[in-house]
Amino acid sequence: MAKVEELTPQQLSETDLKPRGRVYPSPISWRDQFLYQLVLDRFSDDNENQRELFDHTNLAKFQVKDKAGWMAAGTKFVGGTLRGIKSKLDYLQRLGVTTLWINPPWQQRSELEAYHSDRIQEFLDIDPHFGTRQDLRDLIDAAHDRRMYVILDVIYNQNADNWFHRNDVIAALARVYQYWIALSDCDGLRIDSLKHVSPEDSRKFCTAIREYAESIDKDNFLLTGEITSGSMAGAYIDIIARNFSAVLDIAQTPNELAAFAKGLVHPKQFFDLYSENNLAGEYRQIGTYHVSILDDYEMSFRTNKQRFAAYSNVPHLYEQVAHAVGVQLTMPGIPAIYYGTEQAFDGNEGYHDYSIEGRKFAEDRYIKEAMFGGAFGAFQTADCHFFDIDHPTYLRIAAIARIRNSHDKIGKALRRGHHYLRETSFFNSPFSIPGQGELVAWSQTLFDTEVLMVLNTNGLENRGAEVTVDTYMHPQDSTMTFLYKSDWSDSYLRHPPRDQTVAVQHHNDRRATVRIDLPPSGMAILA
């Protein structure tokens, strides 16, 4: 572990840009990564061994009696730390996560502003709520020891329109974050508040960061952020203009993904986002330039602040949540999940009690539940933690991520292959793209390898169909092997059997198919 200095520079001219210790190289392609976005204050305080594990089969056991106290706790610092994150690297790696995405550790905010402001009071030191500079470096070194990467959030400032009008200001901010790269050895930056910054000034900032990173042999340093463009085509053009690596795909995709996974829309409404008939679809197909989002800590793409699992009463909710992430893991792009999704957190504004607080205030607190418990636990609980490696959602995400992360042809096809939406037929109907609430299939292909995904978007009923596969990759009398089935036992989810196959049928019209049957919200992966 590298040792970093304890004293904070008092002015920018005192910052030392020489890397502290080793410099961990960038990944070859960020398409190979699986990102996990967490809110530092809400993730772990490293004291979970002093609390009981939440029991998802007994939701009332840890529910608070003092709801007013629970609500108030959500507006304050709760207690998560950098050391807490470090203590949970094993939990994250078991899930299949390869990259941590952490909100800024150097922010200092008053309690009521903790999650309701973009004001940064101190650029050059760690907020003491979260730990020390050494804690940050130790966390990143420990992640690198596991071949994991770390991305840090950067907030320009909500007054950026006033800040970014002189080159010296841009250069000064660039030096601040060059300093943090040197100190922490982080692998990328997610840049917030881009709507306040012109493409020209953003490009100058990003170019300065990229040039510094390349000078210390971080040759593929990730620079990403939201671009609130009216169309994703415009956003992708902005990637070049701003010298970005990729854009957070939040303009339309999260809501379309959620609606598709719940069977609320025709599947083409989601899959058309990847159509090569338009510029945005072409870029999504390539996968290099977009980070796939389901939920995040702002939920700016939703009318109300709410997670995917909010307000749901489907009997197989845990599977449904896992398979929404499963879609991300098996489509082009860089998948990113929001902490707590793997435990089916359901945070939403509906937890607000207006008889306690009569006005709408800090409603985003309810999507920033504490994983480690404390006074503001998820599901309106306190004093229990949620790091459950046996949770049905966790197990299924981990099983799918294991396939995606594998170093064989199958894993590479999932990460870098070409996407095809597949036609299906049920009850001898003509082959077509299925409708809302039906069994939907898609493939990722890479040269001579096809990986087939099948999802039952119906949350209440079983579905079965003949599913089209590539005729030339699957000759007569061949079989496809199940790599994942959501109704497998926990033991099989952890250690998949290798002998469950389905025969490929060839038809007179040269179509090749496999027969797939799935339970409500079920999913299968075959190759």
Q: Residue 111's pLDDT is what?
A: 35
Other residues' Cβ atoms within 10 Å of the Cβ of residue 258 = 22
Q: What is the pLDDT of residues 406-428, one digit of tens each?
A: 999 999 999 999 999 999 999 99
- Amino acid code (one letter) for 56: H
Domains 26-46+81-360+390-403 and 412-526 share a fold: no
More confident residue, 62 or 157: 62
The mean pLDDT value for 47-76 works out to 96
Q: Residue 108's pLDDT is what?
A: 43
Going by the DSSP 8-state scheme, the letter that residue 494 receives in this structure is H
Q: Residue 201's pLDDT is what?
A: 85
% the chain with pLDDT above 70: 92
Q: Residue 233's pLDDT is what?
A: 55
Which residue reads 């926990």 in tokens? 490
Q: Residue 164's pLDDT is what?
A: 41
Q: Look at residues 330, 360, 349, 335 and name the one whose alpha carbon lies nearest to residue 441.
A: 330
More confident residue, 464 or 1: 464
The mean pLDDT value for 71-94 works out to 97
- Largest separation between any pair of C-alpha atoms in the chain: 77
Q: What is the pLDDT of residues 308-330, one digit of tens each?
A: 999 999 999 999 999 999 999 99
Burial class (CB in 10 A: 0-12, 13-18, 19+), 28: exposed
- What CATH number labels 26-46+81-360+390-403? 3.20.20.80
Which residues are registered as beta bridge partners of 503? 479
| End-to-end alpha carbon distance in the chain | 41
The mean pLDDT value for 290-296 works out to 96
Lowest-confidence segment of 116-120, 173-177, 292-296, 443-447 by average pLDDT: 116-120
Burial class (CB in 10 A: 0-12, 13-18, 19+), 311: exposed
Tokens of 155: 């907030």
Spatial contact of 47 and 80, defined as CB atoms under 8 Å apart:
no
Spatial contact of 328 and 296, defined as CB atoms under 8 Å apart:
no
Going by the DSSP 8-state scheme, the letter that residue 422 receives in this structure is E
In the predicted structure, residue 281 carries a pLDDT above the cut 80 = yes
Q: How confident is the model at residue 117 (pLDDT cuts 50, 70, 90)?
A: very low
Tokens of 67: 């709801």
Tokens of 128: 């003491």
What distance in Å separates the CA atoms of residue 491 and residue 516, rounded to the nearest whole number? Answer: 22
Q: What is the pLDDT of residues 424-459, one digit of tens each?
A: 999 999 999 999 999 999 999 999 999 999 999 999
Identify the helix (H) or strand (E) that includes residue 440: strand 439-446
Q: Residue 136's pLDDT is what?
A: 97
Q: What is the pLDDT of residues 470-493, one digit of tens each?
A: 999 999 999 999 999 999 999 999
Q: Residue 74's pLDDT is what?
A: 97
Other residues' Cβ atoms within 10 Å of the Cβ of residue 119 = 14
% the chain with pLDDT above 90: 80
Q: What is the pLDDT of residues 494-507, one digit of tens each?
A: 999 999 999 999 99
Q: How confident is the model at residue 283 (pLDDT cuts 50, 70, 90)?
A: confident
Burial class (CB in 10 A: 0-12, 13-18, 19+), 493: buried
What distance in Å separates the CA atoms of residue 36 and residue 335, rounded to the nearest whole number? Answer: 9
What distance in Å separates the CA atoms of residue 491 and residue 173, rounded to the nearest whole number? Answer: 50
Extents of the domains making up the chain: 26-46+81-360+390-403, 412-526
Using DSSP's 3-state secondary structure scheme, residue 99 falls into strand
Q: What is the pLDDT of residues 186-245, one digit of tens each?
A: 999 998 876 677 888 888 999 999 999 999 999 999 999 886 655 555 666 677 778 889
- Burial string for 162-173 (b: 16+ CB within 10 Å, else e) reads ebbeeeeebeeb
Which residues, in sequence order, are CB contacts of 311 under 8 Å at separation 6+?
346, 348, 350
In the predicted structure, residue 299 carries a pLDDT above the cut 70 = yes
Q: Would you say domain 412-526 falls under CATH 2.60.40.1180?
A: yes
Q: Residue 348's pLDDT is what?
A: 97
Q: Look at residues 148, 161, 154, 2 and name the one whose alpha carbon lies nearest to residue 89.
A: 148
In the predicted structure, residue 165 carries a pLDDT above the cut 60 = no
Q: Residue 235's pLDDT is what?
A: 63
- Please state the separation of Cα 390 from the chain's center in Å: 20
Q: Residue 109's pLDDT is what?
A: 44
Mutual orientation of helices 317-329 and 253-261 as an angle, nearest 10°? 130
Q: Residue 120's pLDDT is what?
A: 38
Spatial contact of 85 and 40, defined as CB atoms under 8 Å apart:
yes
Q: What are φ and ψ of residue 501, in 5° steps?
A: -130, 170
Q: Residue 58's pLDDT is what?
A: 93
Which residues are registered as beta bridge partners of 304? none
- What is the 3 state secondary structure string of 103-170? CCCCCCCCHHHCCCCCCCCCCCCCCCCCCCHHHHHHHHHHHHHCCCEEEEEEECCCCHHHHCCCHHHH
The mean pLDDT value for 69-78 works out to 97
Using DSSP's 3-state secondary structure scheme, residue 98 falls into coil
What distance in Å separates the CA atoms of residue 253 and residue 226, rounded to the nearest whole number? Answer: 13
The mean pLDDT value for 281-301 works out to 92
Beta strands in 2-55 (DSSP E): 35-38, 52-53
In the predicted structure, residue 158 carries a pLDDT above the cut 60 = no
Tell me the DSSP string of 444-480: EEETTEEEEEEEE--SSS-EEEEEEE-TTTS-TT-EE
- Amino acid code (one letter) for 47: N
Q: What is the pLDDT of residues 353-388, one digit of tens each?
A: 999 999 988 999 999 999 998 999 999 999 999 999
In the predicted structure, residue 162 carries a pLDDT above the cut 90 = no
The mean pLDDT value for 390-398 works out to 98
Which residue reads 């610092």 in tokens? 77
Q: Residue 415's pLDDT is what?
A: 98
- Amino acid code (one letter) for 16: D
Q: What is the pLDDT of residues 40-59, one digit of tens each?
A: 999 999 999 999 999 999 98
What distance in Å separates the CA atoms of residue 440 and residue 469, rounded to the nearest whole number? Answer: 13
Q: Residue 122's pLDDT is what?
A: 63
Q: How confident is the model at residue 255 (pLDDT cuts 50, 70, 90)?
A: very high
What distance in Å separates the CA atoms of residue 423 and residue 420, rounded to the nearest whole number? Answer: 10
Mean pLDDT of the chain: 92
Q: What are φ and ψ of residue 425, in 5° steps?
A: -140, 135
